[in-house]
Amino acid sequence: MSQSAHTSFLAANEEYVARGGGQPPSLSAVPVKKLAIVTCMDARLNVFAQLGLKEGDAHIIRNAGGMARDAIRSIIISQRMLDTREIAVFRHTLCGMQTFTSAQLRERIREADPGNPALDVVNHTDFLEFTDLEASVKEDVQFLQNHPLVLPETTITGWVYEVETGRIRQIV
Amino acid sequence: MSQSAHTSFLAANEEYVARGGGQPPSLSAVPVKKLAIVTCMDARLNVFAQLGLKEGDAHIIRNAGGMARDAIRSIIISQRMLDTREIAVFRHTLCGMQTFTSAQLRERIREADPGNPALDVVNHTDFLEFTDLEASVKEDVQFLQNHPLVLPETTITGWVYEVETGRIRQIV
């Protein structure tokens, strides 16, 4: 087993506090920019730094791929309970979600553990992989625009982050 | 409508690139620390800074509350396709998820839009609110430990981030 990464958290967190981290007491749970970002869990995405955000600015929802379909519970709460009115959806280049299909992942799990009691759940799980990056951004923006539980007055944009250069570009 | 926050992204991103952002080409989609973090979408959580992470280190999965139940698709992909073997679950103090119940949120949506075609979906959605912070961390760690699709060799820890001080503390 690899060394446990969590053992570095406390010392690093002390440094954050010593640098003056922690929140101005005025910051509530309502994002200052009324913004929710949906993006991938990918380790190379440092969302705050890459978009110039600071503590308090925006909800950051992250999952495998940055898929809006897997973020609806969070988006409803973000809008209805915490007043956000803008959503920015991101994909990124060289995403792991472009390297497999749900069928292949199901097969991998089945082969590793043929007696797993959850194989039936796996067989009915859409892992939401995609092939075309820009098409996937557009689909997600459209999905949100048409979703009956996303507020109609929401500003929705779609973006790609380029892992190779650190640059973003707007698609929608 | 509030001014659109996304209009600041491009200039801020140029600064990130100018500061030498972007990725060492050696960074792949596999997290260097073999770590996945599950935490809340809350705007006050700057995960990289608060835990001393850098680009490439860890998958960051974020949703309303930081609920593991809502992160299973991502965790399966993180472990089976991208080799992580450690999960750290975070909650934080003053979380919006402690301020309402699913019943109240359903009522709010119904009152705002009684003809919404998705009210039936809303009525069957568990919004995963919680009351006791530490109990919720423990529950989530246990949920992951017992989940048949989480690899048994996974190191799983549970934490609270204190919004008031910037400090973290380990619960499990």
Q: Which domains are assigned to chain A?
A: 25-95+130-170 (3.40.1050.10)
**Rounded CA separation A49/A156 (Å):** 21
Q: Which residue of A16, A19, A41, A93 to mutate against B (max B Cβ within 10 Å)?
A: A41
Which residues between 31 and 50 in chain B have a beta carbon less than 8 angstroms from any beta carbon of chain A? 31-36, 41-46, 48-50
**Rounded CA separation B150/A109 (Å):** 11
Pair B61, A58: CB distance under 8 Å: no
Q: Among partner residues B4, B62, B97, which is closest to A62 by beta-carbon distance? A: B62
Average pLDDT over residues A138-145: 98
Say whether B50 and A16 touch across the interface (CB within 8 A): yes
Condensed to tens digits (0 to 9), the pLDDT of residues B56-107 reads 999 999 999 999 999 999 999 999 999 999 999 999 999 999 999 999 999 9
Average pLDDT over residues A135-164: 98
**Strands laid side by side in the A35-40 sheet:** A168-170, A155-161, A86-92, A35-40, A58-63, B58-63, B35-40, B86-92, B155-161, B168-170
Which residues in chain B touch residue A112, judged by CB atoms under 8 angstroms apart?
A: 80
**Rounded CA separation B38/B42 (Å):** 12
The CA-to-CA distance between both ends of chain A, in Å, stands at 43
Say whether B51 and A159 touch across the interface (CB within 8 A): no
- In terms of Cα–Cα distance, which of A77, A82, A43, A81 is closest to A62? A43
Residue B121: enclosing H or E segment and its boundaries? helix B119-123
| pLDDT at residue B121 tops 70 | yes
Residue A143 in contact with partner chain B when CB distance is under 8 A: no
